[in-house]
Structures are given as structure tokens and as C-alpha cells.
Amino acid sequence: MLLAAVKGYELRLFLDAARKLELPVALGTDRCHVLDNPWRDGALPLRFEEPEASARRVVDFARSQPLAAIVALGDRATQTAALACQALGFPYNPPEATAACRNKFLARQMLEAAGLPVPWFRRFSRHDAPRACLAQVAFPCVLKPLALSASQGVIRADTPDDFIAAFERIAALLARPEIQVHKDATTDWLLAEGFIAGREVALEGLLDRGRLRPLALFDKPDPMEGPYFEETIYVTPSREDAATQAAIVCCAEQAARALQLFHGPIHAELRLTTDGPRVLEVAARAIGGLCSRALRFRTGIALPELILRHAAGLPIEPLAREDAAAGVMMIPIPHGGIYEGVEGVEEARAVPGVEDVAITAKEEHPLEPPPEGSSYLGFIFARGSLPEEVEAALRQAHRRLRFRIAPRLPLARKA
């Protein structure tokens, strides 16, 4: 069974992979909890914000239609998957682990308890007075919501004034109805922690009953110094030296163990400090959405197929990534407004090495830049023999795109 929060591109990739493997799949989604079969795709309607009840529904379903494995796509479904897998006896991550991966405060506590080096960290309520919190923090620091992702609401503060402004901005973000609707242990809190200086990398891996098998190490060649931390370019293989790469894998494995992660895909973000790699976070899922397209393995299989094979207990050897370098650019939103369109897509696609340009912004829809926003204008994919070529192709293609973003009209005033 695939558990997916959205009916998006990523789900299609997994359904295609399942078809290729001739694995029959059932779907569990939280698109609608009122109607049965709302999307006429036979999906089991679930609510991932109620993981216990959702897991019970999955277990009931498995009584009449036996399941062999459960795969969660994205972060939100992981808790339901963990509880259902525990009840059905499938190897996956224990619910304690998936809970920690969805709660940055809990994750820091578990990493610290396991003796891993972590920056100082404090949790504050969104209702606290930020000025009163100042005595407990140092600078530079980073403030962030406990459970959002894609750098949404993550802000660097270098001074007390920065801290107060960032705190108020995150508190306002958390108060939004679309966030409070997911009310749980995280939506009323924010975390402040020491700023970790250093280059950033992302490790894609597969945990196999506790053993980490690295799949790909991505460099993030754009400096991420703040005050906001929008993702842009990911390129693999990494240009870090072999010793650094080994230290990254070792650090990610220790973090996964500290978080009690056990089986299935992980996506770890780390910074390389002068004292060695430091974990920013580990997610109990693969790299998000369209980005998984950047990864192919030598046997010709792509990441979704690999994850399905692993969950279903099918052979996945050998795991070597294909020789070519690959990269993706998440196209940042330069400023807010209404998205009107883009020129230059064909010119961008024509850049040597560029495989595709996928524009995901929708015309006439509002765009919200970071830190409140968490989406991109689209994605550029490139492949080449060397990572520096891939990076250059992504940047060149990006320069050829001309986005039209209209300012939002001020609300009409009554005469």
C-alpha cells in the first residue's frame, strides 16, 4: 500500500514503478475523509493528522485485502505508516522515530541524548513574548517552526532585534488557519538553535534493518547563509573528498540510529563545520517530489522503483549510482505576486546537459516567497559527465528563464 498525502507527480512515479514491477498496489490518501472513494481511484480515505485512527483503517483494510508492505510518500504519512507497519509486523521505522523526524525539538533532544554534537537549542511557545526569550539565546541563531519543511519559516537572527522580528514572523505563520488545522504537538511551538556555519550537503540513503546504505550524496553549491534558506541547486556526485564523504555517511548513520530509524529511505541534511559534519535533520523519506528524478542507478532503476523493491523485499543489488553526474535546481520565487507566465523555457531546455525544465507554478495563482512560502516556480534537471558541468548547465538554463510576476493588486477601497 502506498500512503500519499497528495495526488501529485511523485505518486505517479511510484505507481509507474509498481506497474513496471507488476506489484499490485492499494492507495491510502487523505484527500477526503467524508466521501468514500472520492477520487474514484479506490483509495482508502485516511487522515494523516490522526495517525492512530488512520493506521487502524489500514490494518482493517489489510484483513480483507492482505498487504505485503507499506510505503509512505512524503513526511505527513510516515506516522500512519509506522503504526500500521508495527501492527502488521512489516519492517519499517518505529513510531517513536517517525515522530522525532516530524518534530525538530524532539529530534534535537534524541541526538543530544545519544551524545551527538548538536548546537544549543531552546523551544518557545508562539504565545511567548520574544523579548523575554532573549536571555536564553545566543547569536547568530536560527529560528524555525517545529514541524514544517522545505525551509518554510526558517529564519536566521544575528541580533536581538532580528530575533524578535523573526519570532513574530514565525508566530504569525503558525497562527495561519492552514497550519492550525493540523493541530498537534508541534503547531504552537518554535525552536531556536545555534547557527551552524559550513557548506551544506544532503545524503539520500536506504536503511536496511538499521544499516545505512548511502545512495547519493548531493552538494548544495549555493551558499545558504540566511536570513532565509530556500533550496536551489543539488548536484551529485559530491565534490567533497573521500574522507569528508565517509565522515558524512558515518554522521548520518549515527543520527539515524539516535533517532531510532530502522528500515526504509532517509534524507539527511548536514553542514560541514571545521569540527566535522553536523546533522541539520534526518527525514524518514526519500528526497521530495520531482527531485527524485535526478537519481538513477546503474542497473537503470530510479529511486521510486528502488524504494518499492526494498519495501517488497525484492533484490536491489547492485546499488551503485550511474556514473554520470546529475543535478536539479529548485527554481526560487524571487518575490511575491501573481504568477503570470514564463518565457525562455525552450531556450533553457536547449542548454547542453539540461534534460528538462518543469514549471510547476500555476498561472493566475499567488506566489509567496520564503520564509512564509514553501514552493518553487519549478525545477530544472541536468546531467553531464562532471558535477561542475551540471551545475553550470543549471545556472545557464535558469538565466534563460524570464518569469512574469505581477504585483498583487491592493484591495479595492470603498469610495
Binding residues (CB under 6 A) for ligand ADP: these are 104, 119, 142, 144, 148-152, 154, 193, 195-196, 200, 224, 229, 269, 280-281
Nearer to ligand ADP, 4 or 142 (CB): 142
Closer by beta carbon to ligand ADP, 88 or else 268: 268
Whole-number minimum distance, CB 206 to ligand ADP, in Å? 20
Phi and psi dihedrals of 172, rounded to 5?
-65, -40
Cell digits for 51? 495517525
Q: Which is nearer to ligand ADP, 174 or 348 (CB)?
A: 174
Which residues have C-beta within 8 Å of that of residue 282, sequence separation ≥ 6?
Answer: 101, 107, 252, 255, 256, 259, 261, 266, 267, 268, 269
Q: How are the residues of the chain apportioned to helix, strand and coil, as percentages rounded to the nearest 5?
A: 30, 25, 40
Nearest Cα to Cα of residue 280 among 123, 136, 154: 154
**DSSP SS3 for 264:** strand
Q: Which three three-digit cell numbers place residue 403?
A: 518569469
Q: CB of 367 within 8 A of CB of 338? A: yes
DSSP string covering 176-229, please?
SHHHHTT-STTTTEEEEEE---SEEEEEEEEEETTEEEEEEEEE--S---SSS-
How many helices and strands in the chain, by DSSP H and E? Answer: 12, 19
Residue 230 Cβ vs ligand ADP, minimum distance, rounded to whole Å = 9
Alpha-carbon gap, residue 305 to 19, rounded angstroms: 10
3-state SS class at 327: strand
Residue closest to ligand ADP, measured at CB = 229
* Closer of 5 and 18 to ligand ADP (Cβ): 5
- Minimal distance, residue 231 CB to ligand ADP, in Å: 7
Q: Tell me how far, at minimum, the Cβ of 220 lies from ligand ADP, in Å.
A: 8
- C-beta closer to ligand ADP: residue 18 or 100: 100
List the 402-406 sheet strands across, edge first. 366-367, 337-343, 402-406
Q: How near is the Cβ of 260 to ligand ADP at its closest, in Å?
A: 19
Least CB distance to ligand ADP at residue 271 (A): 6
* Nearer to ligand ADP (CB atom), residue 142 or residue 252: 142
Residue 402 Cβ vs ligand ADP, minimum distance, rounded to whole Å: 28
Closer CB to ligand ADP, residue 240 or residue 281? Answer: 281
